[in-house]
Amino acid sequence: MLKLFPGRSLAMIPSQTLRSTTRVSEIAGTWTVEHVAGHECDVYQPPEPNEHGYVVIYLHGVHLQRLVDKDVFCRQFDRHGLRVVAPMTRRSWWTDRVCAEFDPQITAERHVVDNVVAYIARRWNTAPPRIALLGTSMGGQGALRLAYKHPDTFPVAVAISPAIDYHTRFDEGDQTLPLMYADAEAARQDTCILHVHPLNWPRHQWFCCDPADARWYDSADRLRMKLASLGVPFECDLETTGGGHGYDYYNRMAPAAIDFLADRLQRERLRVL
């Protein structure tokens, strides 16, 4: 079924997946909804894709908001010619734990590492290290987690307002975490800070958090301190403020975040092994 949006035209583009739904944003590129291994992914095609075939995997937050109508981000993707694949995994926290509301068998982590990366290779002949991770909130900690666990696959990662200490939600009525972990301590042991390896890390990571973000700022600052103490290279912005936690802040940080992605993808391509 084709979904129409007020004030937007509709067009179809070729798809290599079984089914697709197409939307055209008010910006220049085109969004489609593709099915990858039975799960929906938003896919963005800029008007002039980068000649080197760079692709960004975007990981959504716990409120499942999508980038389809986030023109601030799309304009940055257009500026750098970045294709985007945004898998939808419900409130999985992008972990390697089965989240029943996403899938009863495969975890969100394995879906990204196995299925989404393979989809990108089939569709555009793009493979690591030409793939970068970008996430906001729940997806921000997911981008860092995946990069820390799979640094060769994802050497470039950006996290905006990463919800790192998600175990603090365990006793606050969260409906999915108690089905994934025995208790809050088990969840804490699986947070991205504890997946940082002192000798094996993503070569390019950038994260930011608004100092006004009372819920998640402290954990971002703690990550900064741990990386610095281990001598792991990173860049971060924990000073810029504007909006707290949400798209007011995400939009403000989008240009810097996506500039970093594009620059580091280029550096990876030129890196001498």
Distances (CA, A) of 230 to 148, 224, 225, 246: 14, 10, 9, 30
Domain 30-270 has CATH 3.40.50.1820: yes
- Give the CA angle between residues 72, 44, 98 to the nearest 5°: 100
Q: What's the predicted TM-score (pTM) here?
A: 0.90
Give the three-class secondary structure for 73.
Answer: helix
Detail the DSSP E strand segments found in 82-234.
Answer: 83-87, 131-136, 156-160, 204-208
What type of residue is 133? L
pLDDT at 1 over 50: no
Q: Domain coordinates of the chain in residue numbers?
A: 30-270
Long-range (24+ apart) CB contacts under 8 A made by 71-76 are 71/25, 71/26, 71/27, 72/251, 72/254, 73/250, 73/251, 73/254, 73/258, 74/25, 74/27, 74/29, 74/44, 75/27, 76/254, 76/255, 76/258, 76/259
On average, the pLDDT of the chain sits at 90
Q: What is the pLDDT of residue 23?
A: 45
CA 187, CA 180: separation in Å to the nearest integer? Answer: 8
CA 22, CA 4: separation in Å to the nearest integer? Answer: 9
Q: What is the pLDDT of residue 221?
A: 98
Of 33-37, 118-122, 170-174, least confident by mean pLDDT is 170-174
Q: What would the mean pLDDT of 12-41 be, rounded to a whole number? A: 67
Tell me the pLDDT tens digit for each residue of 45-67.
Answer: 999 999 999 999 999 999 999 99
Q: What would the mean pLDDT of 178-206 be, rounded to a whole number? A: 96
